[in-house]
Structure formats: structure tokens, C-alpha cells
Amino acid sequence: MNRRMLLEALVAAPLAGLAGRALAATPKGGIDVQDLQKTWKALLPAGAAVPSASEALKLSKDEWKKRLDAAQFRVLREEGTEPPGSSPLNDEKRPGVFACAGCGLPLFTSAMKYDSGTGWPSFFTDIPGHLQTKRDFRLILPRTEYHCARCGGHQGHVFDDGPPPTGQRWCNNGVALRFLPKEGGA
Ligand SMILES: [Zn+2]
């Protein structure tokens, strides 16, 4: 092996590892992500009234404290992280919509969810325009934080080690979400 081949092998090795992991986590074959994003309302319960991202909800800290329980407040308003494996939404597999626990804005659907094995509800894409991102340096290494576009509530972080076709892993705190099952009520 000459020097150039060695360099190429070193560059390719981590990429190959990543592709292998992502392939193993493929949620379903042949997913049309744009279609999932366009048709998300089909997974809302019949007659559900949900707010839109443009109806901004701004409350004071005290108003949020009244509206949220302590665990929700810690995550949504103080960018806390729930313990892995603590959310019942990890095992939620029914058709439906995952909305912000702070303001009810739909953020993801059941068709966007996959089992990442991390202990947090995970999604490979999101409802367009309903989440906003920012860089976060809390763990020294930069991460991409994301939050609800309507109320600003922190939801989680997005990483690039998710499954195809997007390669995204939206790693969400379950306590920051409310699940609206399409059938049969909560
Ligand atoms: Zn919200």
C-alpha cells in the first residue's frame, strides 16, 4: 500500500462505518420524505384543532411555570435533558402526531419516527417550518439545538447519524412532546 492509498483508506473507513450503521437503522424501504412532510395532517385525529407556527405564544417565566410541570419546564424553558429511557413515547408506535407540550404546535408524525436505540424518541425528519435550530456549545463540542417555532420551547438536538434517506436524527425529549393518536384518543 503506498502513501496515497493509505490516506484514501483512512478517509473512507469512518464513512463506511457510518453508512453501515445508518443502513441497519433504516425504518422502512423507499421513504418519500417530501411526501411525509407534505401530508403530515393526515395523521392528525379527526377534527383536531392545532395552532399554526405563525401564531407566536409568548409567556412570562411565571406563566410557563403554571402551565408546565417541573420536568417539562426544565426541558422546554431551561434546555434541560430528560434521563434516557424515561419517556413512554420511546415505545409509542401508534399512528398520530407529536406536538409541542408547551403550545400544541405539531412537530413530528408517527411516520417520521424510528427506534434509534438511544433512549430518546427519535425522528429522521420533521414537519417543515415548525422547528428552528441554533448552535449550542453546552458540551463544548458544538451541537445543533432545536426548538418549537411557535413558543421557543427547547425540544432536543439534531445529529447527522440518522437513517437514510435523510441521515438526520432528531433526538427529542419525550417530556417536551404530547402525542395525539389518530384514532381512539389519548
Ligand atoms: Zn411550542
- Is the per-residue pLDDT at 57 higher than 70? yes
User: Which has more pLDDT, 20 or 52?
Assistant: 52
Can 171 be counted among the known catalytic residues? yes
What is the DSSP annotation of 52-105? -TTS-----HHHHHHHS-HHHHHHHHH---PPTT--GGGG--SSEEEEETTT--
- Is the per-residue pLDDT at 75 higher than 50? yes
Per-residue pLDDT tens over the stretch 96-144: 999 999 999 999 999 999 999 999 999 999 999 999 999 988 777 889 9
- Per-residue buried b or exposed e for 155-184, using 16+ beta carbons within 10 Å of the residue's own CB: bbbbbeebbbebebbbbbbbbbbbbbebee
- Is the per-residue pLDDT at 16 higher than 50? no
- Is the per-residue pLDDT at 4 higher than 90? no
Q: How confident is the model at residue 186 (pLDDT cuts 50, 70, 90)?
A: low
List the catalytic residue out of 100, 148, 151, 171: 171
Cα of 44 vs centre of ligand 1, distance in Å, is 17
Q: What is the pTM (predicted TM-score) of this model?
A: 0.83
- What pLDDT score does 8 carry? 53
Which residues are near ligand 1, the ion (C-beta closer than 5 Å)? 100, 102-103, 105, 148, 150-151, 153
Cα of 15 vs centre of ligand 1, distance in Å, is 36
